Amino acid sequence: MTKVLAELHPREWDGYATLADVLPAIDDAFARQPSPFVPIPSSQHVVVLLIDGLGDQLLARHAEIAPTLTAMRAGTLRAGFPATTATSITSLMAGTQCGQHGIIGYSFLPEEDSDFRRKRRTLNALRWTFDTSDGPSATSRYVPERIQPLPGLLSEMARRGVEVSYVMPASYRGSGFSRAAFRVDGRYLDATTPADIVSGVADVLAPRTPRHRLIYAYWPDLDMTGHIFGPGSPQWVSTLAAADRLVADLAAELPRDATLVVTGDHGMVQADNRIDIDTTDGMLGGVSVVAGEMRVRQIYTRSGARDDVQAFWSDVVGDHAHIVAREQVLDEGWFGSEVTDVVAQRIGDLVAVARDTTLLTRSLTDPAPEVTMAGHHGAWTLDEQLVPLLVQQG
């Protein structure tokens, strides 16, 4: 029997601050005018640590494993839709939701090329590859700065003199996604382990300066462990404990004029009710392209086929997913209250949002490691949508 998971429907989203509100709140903290909406105190320097996969509901269930994280709780944020890394990090850095910045999911179909003879191909925004995460590079055709054209709030802050540094794996530097999400070069310190992160942040904060500093650090291990073994698994719990030690070590080294802000890009659910798009008779009829990930699918239909596809998919999935037309998605503000015309074109003719523990898989198309993952995210459940806001002053 499929486990029923509580959902946060779009009509309930207005009561939550989102990841897109964090950078504006940091900007207010630098101006000594703290935002009551996202409570970050007045600060000279701010360290933002994003723990990939740190969900608010999961943290609450395992509070005894993470006493430092729990003690730092200052609020709860909504990741944004879809609740996935590429969208969330871009929203965080741009200070706006994806209806403006355009990274509308794990993968999607960008607008038509000027060269109409070229076959349209989906963009995997996290890897910046064609079609799948293991596809060929798409940077020459889908130029990151064109797909995500907003300089964003981070660029504006840098122009005003804020020193920007990154403490994260060197392999991310200059990638297509990094070019799209991080529009300021800044100082870059290679960091793959918790010790690297603590050391890198300390190195940036050590010299005294009258200028404001914003340091962005990133740790991916909790997300990776959750995908492989499932959220709440012994392996995941062990990784959460390591995240707690990392944050405790960072907090212990903070100078008095710095603030540590910790959050996640999404939560996670363990999902196992699989509906396979590739092998279920008729599901690809009238469909041109299927993008997204297993909890949120973008469905691009052939001319005149949308209503039939929506009716067929709705009949197949029943109560296990919402199958909604683009017009309703825009009316209800799934991708933000303001969506540019260009971004609207990228949204599927239909958007499918999995419910409960359902997955909309593509067993013949998606890479094998993704098809067999235990943990997933993207959809509307509280476990996926809500992330903690954790704050500690030096």
In angstroms, the CA 298 to CA 20 distance is 22
In a 3-state reduction of DSSP, which class is residue 1? coil
Which stretches of 232-328 are assigned E, i.e. beta strand? 258-263, 269-270, 273-276, 287-293, 296-301, 321-325
* Residue 26 main-chain phi, psi, to 5 deg: -65, -40
The two domains 10-98+143-270+381-393 and 104-139+271-375 share their CATH topology (first three levels equal)? no
Phi/psi at 291 (5° precision): -125, -165
Sign of the CA dihedral with 33 first, then 39, 44, and 45 last: negative
Given this model, what pLDDT does residue 111 score?
80
CA distance 108 to 358: 21
Please say whether the beta carbons of 381 and 298 come within 8 A.
no
Q: Give the DSSP per-residue string, 255-281.
A: -TTEEEEEE-S---EE--EEEETTTST
Cα angle for residues 211, 215, 219 (degrees, 5° grid): 175
CATH topology of domain 104-139+271-375: Gyrase A; domain 2 (3.30.1360)
Distance CA 80, CA 384 (A): 10
**Cβ pair 260, 250 in contact under 8 A:** yes
User: How many residues are listed for the chain in this entry?
Assistant: 394
CA neighbours within 13 Å on the CB side: how many for 360?
Answer: 31
β-strand pairing of 287-293 with 296-301? antiparallel
Confidence (pLDDT) at 114: 46
Give the Cα-Cα-Cα angle 173, 22, 328 (nearest 5 degrees): 95
Number of neighbours of residue 40 by Cβ within 10 angstroms: 25
Both tokens assigned to 1 = 């029997």
The label of the residue with tokens 């020459």 reads 140
Quote the tokens at residue 306: 């949308």
What does the pLDDT look like over 310-359, one tens digit per residue? 999 999 999 999 999 999 999 999 999 999 999 999 999 999 999 999 99
Domain ranges of the chain: 10-98+143-270+381-393, 104-139+271-375
If one counts every other C-beta atom within 10 angstroms of the C-beta of residue 394, the result is 17
Average pLDDT, the chain: 95
Phi then psi for 386, rounded to 5 degrees?
Answer: -90, 135
Cα–Cα distance for residue pair 98/126, rounded to 1 Å: 14
- pLDDT the model gives residue 118: 56
344: nearest Cα among 353, 356, 333: 333
Exposed e or buried b per residue across 67-102, where buried means at least 16 C-beta atoms within 10 angstroms of its C-beta: ebbbebbbbbbbbbbbbbbbbbbbbbbbbbbbbbbb
Give the CATH superfamily of 10-98+143-270+381-393. Alkaline Phosphatase, subunit A (3.40.720.10)
Tokens matching residue 369: 């490691």
The per-residue pLDDT string of the chain (394 residues; one tens digit each, 9 = 90 and over) reads: 567 789 999 989 998 999 999 999 999 999 999 888 899 999 999 999 999 999 999 999 999 999 999 999 999 999 999 999 999 999 999 999 999 999 999 999 998 654 444 577 999 999 999 999 999 999 999 999 999 999 999 999 999 999 999 999 999 999 999 999 999 999 999 999 999 999 999 999 999 999 999 999 999 999 999 999 999 999 999 999 999 999 999 999 999 999 999 999 999 999 999 999 999 999 999 999 999 999 999 999 999 999 999 999 999 999 999 999 999 999 999 999 999 999 999 999 999 999 999 999 999 999 999 999 999 999 999 999 999 999 999 8
Task: Pull the structure tokens for residue 22.
Answer: 């964090």
Residue labelled with tokens 């991916």: 220
